[in-house]
Amino acid sequence: MRDERVNWFSKLVTVLAYTFILAPMIIIVIISFNSGEAIQFPPSGVSLRWYEYIVTGPTNFLKGLGNSLKVAAIATVFDIFIGVFASLSVTKYNFKGRGLLVSFFTSPMFIPSISFAFVLLRTTAAIKMMTPFSKILVGHLIIILPYIIRNTMSILVNYNWTVEDAAASLGANPAQVFFKITLPLIKPGIISGAMLSFLYSFDEAVISSFLTSAKFLTLPVQIINYLEFTFDPTVAAISTILMAASLVIMILINKFVGLDSMIN
Amino acid sequence: MKEKRNVLLLALPCTLTLLIAFIIPMVYTFIKALINDNLTYYTKFFTDPFYMKIFGNTIKLSLKTTLLTLVLGYPSAYFIARTKSKIKSILIIATIFPFLVSAVIRAYGWMVILGDSGILNQFLLNAGIIDSPIKIMYTETAVMIGMAQLVLPYMILSITGVIQNIDPNVENAAKSLGANPVQTFFKVTFPLSAPGVISGCILVFTMGMTSYITPQLLGGAQYLTMSTLVYSQIKTTYNLEFANAICYILVFAILIFQIVANNISNSVNKRLGSGKNA
């Protein structure tokens, strides 16, 4: 009776679908511990040699990692500021053209990254003082903004604004109301949105590969460049570490807001 | 009055950022190219069969990807929405986790599997099924496999949401009135889940049309899509003006598609809504 509605067909397809989704990632983890020279499955033995090679090999992946972290951190912090204010403006107040403003705030989502990357490449080429770092930063600022705004808005839509009035009527000034009442209540949503946006920027490779230079490479661009010439399990080792980090972030998000909030 | 001022102050930093770094560059680049070259490069694109074929291939690839993810995604979503076993939460985690893994890493996983000396060919050669490696990398098949794996979780989540909201009693009612499981599915469950199917398909198709990393790594220069064509115009033929035209053709194609698709989806939602009230 319990699973009567779920017939064997949907069970079978589910097994297929999740094998399809997970297999490449599981295989990456397995081959990263291979002790042999090339990519082998099953591995000829277990070793950490490819993990060592991340640091000892010719490509300075640590520098790329540092660059990616820097871009992602600055872009996320900047966007939290402007994004939370923007979300407040369209959730707290009801006015004509509100829907239009929301569409405007999330507009970068509707433009293909490749087109925006190309436009940035052309327009920033004319500005001499812009370094590859600042170009990539500007690109990332824009493309992660909609995610911060949508995440914050989804929290604010269900927010009970009367608690603000209550605080104000008890004598709190607007700054106190915001920092002592509103901010603590919406903080979990902001943090989870920030972590997702950070990860999006960290993993982003379209804008980065268009605006990069030999002097400033992000980790995903380094991986793409490396794959062009070498096909050993080094990238598998890096990928395994990054996937482990993503897993930690997912557990943290689950703790802050629950994974259900990510389903929409 | 005070409210108006507050809205303005709160919205201002974000509005300025978007205008300066996004809207103005996008509009300026489009108009400047239009003034300099009229429609020369747009005409070139639409009159040259070589480029039209790439445009067509990209649409075909996106349609195939959408169909494949729908076929795999719908039954999976149905299972997740309806099962009462503990595996449900594990499957939800397995659906969300890929969102947090870079497209570069996921494409790399397929390079490892599908490459000429990849795991699949190693296996088939060792088993004696084939004598020489089959070529999958840098074909439409490789890109489609990579794309489908990239976007399948979106499809599953989007459909799971609507099926969860369908009252199982509606299905039971159909059955008690004599409908067999297949009839129940096609006359009751599937129509009610249409909004989730449509929004999933819109999302997946759009991603298929615009993704760059997956076709770049799995299709390379041998199987071009619209987005990798832009790259090849910049890196190999240095034709920036033509790359510019392709970028904006993609922008407008996606905008038109989104508008049309959202209209369809709205009218379906409306019909379902009025059906409920009747």
Q: Is the pLDDT of residue B260 over 80?
A: yes
Number of domains in chain A: 1
Tokens, residue B21: 């770094």
Position A256 pLDDT exceeds 70: yes
pLDDT for residue A41 is more than 90: no
Q: How far apart are CA A217 and CA B136, in angstroms?
A: 30
Distance CA(B262)–CA(B278), nearest Å, equals 24
Cβ neighbours, 10 Å, residue B256: 10
A196, closest residue in chain B (CA to CA): B100
What is the domain partition of chain B in residue ranges? Answer: 50-273
Q: What is the pLDDT of residue A2?
A: 44
Instruction: Give the pLDDT of residue A192.
Output: 85
Q: Specify the pLDDT at position A7.
A: 80
Alpha helices by DSSP H, chain B:
2-18, 24-37, 40-47, 49-82, 87-96, 103-114, 119-126, 140-165, 168-176, 181-184, 190-192, 194-210, 213-218, 226-235, 240-277
Percent pLDDT > 90 in chain B is 78
Report d(CA A18, CA B60) in Å as an integer: 25
Residue A96 at interface with chain B, using a CB cutoff of 8 Å: no
Residue B39 CB neighbour total at 10 angstroms: 12
Q: Is A213 helix (H, G, I), strand (E, B) or coil?
A: strand
In a domain, residue A19? The reply is no
Q: How confident is the model at residue A1 (pLDDT cuts 50, 70, 90)?
A: very low
pLDDT at position A261 is 62
Per-residue tokens: A185: 């209540």
Which chain A residue is nearest to residue B113, measuring alpha carbons? Answer: A24
**Is residue B108 within 8 Å of residue A239, measured between CB atoms?**
yes
Give pLDDT tens digits for A60-100: 999 999 999 999 999 999 999 999 999 999 998 888 889 99
Residue among A84, A107, A119, A140 with most chain B CBs within 10 A, to mutate: A119
Question: How high does pLDDT run on average in chain A?
Answer: 90
**Closest C-alpha among B185, B254, B133, B98 to residue A114:** B254
A138–B contact, CB cutoff 8 A:
yes
In sequence order, the β-bridge partners of residue B231 are none
Contact between chains at B22 and A262 (C-beta distance less than 8 A): no
Asked whether the predicted pLDDT for residue B278 surpasses 60, the reply is: no
Radius of gyration of chain A (CA): 23
Average pLDDT, chain B: 93
Q: Average the pLDDT over A181-210 and give the result.
A: 91
- Smallest Cβ distance to A14: which of B29, B75, B105? B75
Does the beta-carbon distance from A116 to B153 stay under 8 Å? no
The structure's pTM equals: 0.92
Please state the rounded mean pLDDT for residues B143-169.
95
Which of B73, B83, B240 is nearest residue A17 as measured by Cβ atoms?
B73
Instruction: Calculate the CA B223 to chain-centre distance.
Output: 18
Q: What is the mean pLDDT of residues B153-170?
A: 93
Helix (H) or strand (E) holding A170: none
Report the chain B residue with the minimal C-alpha distance to residue A2.
Answer: B84
Q: How far B130 CA sits from the closest chain A CA (Å)?
A: 18
B237 pLDDT band, cuts 50/70/90, is confident
A6, A28, A138: residue with CB nearest B82: A6
B226-244 average pLDDT score: 93
Q: Which residue of A has its CA nearest to B69?
A: A17
Tokens representing A217 are: 């490479």
- Whether residue B78 and residue A10 make contact (CB cut-off 8 A), yes or no, is yes
Residue B277 has pLDDT above 50, yes or no: no
Per the structure, the complete domain to which residue A163 belongs is given by 60-263
For the domain covering B50-273, report its CATH number.
1.10.3720.10
For A4-14, the pLDDT digits (tens) are 556 888 999 99
Within a domain: residue A65? yes
Predicted confidence (pLDDT) at residue B203 exceeds the cutoff of 50: yes
pLDDT of residue B274: 62
Residue A262: the pLDDT is: 62
Residue A15 has pLDDT above 80, yes or no: yes
A116, A203, A231 ranked by CB distance to B102: nearest: A203
Question: Tokens representing A173?
Answer: 């000034």
In a domain, A123, yes or no: yes
- The nearest CA of chain A is from the CA of B277 a distance in Å of 26
pLDDT per position as a tens digit, B121-144: 999 999 999 999 999 999 999 999
- Whether A118 is covered by a domain: the verdict is yes
B162: which chain A residues are within 8 Å (Cβ-Cβ)?
none
Are A104 and B79 an interchain contact pair (Cβ–Cβ within 8 Å)? no
What pLDDT, in 10s, does the model give residues A134-157? 999 999 999 999 999 998 998 888
pLDDT tops 50 at residue A164: yes
* Contact at CB, B100 and A249, closer than 8 angstroms: yes
Pick A29 or B38 by higher pLDDT: A29
> Does the beta-carbon distance from B105 to A242 stay under 8 Å?
yes
Put simply, the answer to whether B109 touches A90 (Cβ < 8 Å) is no
Nearest CA to CA, how far is B149 from chain A (Å)?
A: 5
In a domain, A43, yes or no: no
Here the CATH number for the domain that contains residue A245 is 1.10.3720.10
Q: What's the CA gap between A112 and B254, in Å, rounded?
A: 8
pLDDT > 70? residue A227: yes
What was the pLDDT predicted at A263?
A: 58
ipTM: 0.92
Angle between helices B226-235 and B240-277 (to 10 degrees): 170
**pLDDT for B87 beyond 60:** yes
In chain B, residues with a C-beta closer than 8 Å to the C-beta of A206 are 212-213
Confidence of residue B275 (pLDDT cuts 50, 70, 90): low
User: Helices (DSSP H) in B85-193: which residue ranges?
Assistant: 87-96, 103-114, 119-126, 140-165, 168-176, 181-184, 190-192
Report the distance separating Cα B25 and Cα B124, nearest Å.
Answer: 51
Q: In chain B, what residues touch A142 (CB-CB under 8 Å)? A: 17-18, 21-22
